[in-house]
Structure 1
């Protein structure tokens, strides 16, 4: 399991729009999505991939990091896997 934090996502963007965007750039389909509210202008989403490793996401992340989408420049961060 691995998680990807996508920052600066327009709040009105649907989960399906996010799914199609990620698929377009070669990401697998995510299993869960969680909205991360912001008091400023940087709302984010946390997407979880059950069958993907953090290393695989780190290889894919540069494809969408700093991409201009829906009038915003995205930034992404692969979340660290918990230590067993």
Structure 2
């Protein structure tokens, strides 16, 4: 199980839009998503992949980190595995 943090997403971005964006760049479908409103200027999401290890996400992460998406430069990080 691994989690992916996607920061600075545009407010109002739907779960489906996030899913389509990630799968377009080779990520597997995610199993869960949690929206983090922050202070309103830089909302984020934490996306959970149940059957995927953090090493796979680390290989895919450079494809989308610092990418311009929906008029924002997003920040994508693989979160530390809870079992590590």
TM range (shorter): over 0.9
1:59 aligns with 59
Partners of 2:40 and 2:51 in 1: how far apart? 33
2:81 aligns with 81
Pairwise mapping of residues 1-84 of structure 1 onto structure 2 (< 5 A)?
A: 1-83=1-83
Q: Structure 1: give runs of 5+ residues left out of the alignment.
A: none
Partners of 2:60 and 2:49 in 1: how far apart? 13
Q: Which of structure 1's runs of 4+ aligned residues deviate more than 6 A?
A: none
Q: CA RMSD in A?
A: 1.0
Deviation by residue 1:32-60 (Cα, 9 ceiling, x = unmatched): 00001111411000000001000000000
For the residue of structure 2 that corresponds to 1:76, the secondary structure is strand
Instruction: Provide TM-score, normalisation by structure 2.
Output: 0.95
Residues matched between the structures, number: 84
Q: Structure 2: give runs of 5+ residues left out of the alignment.
A: none
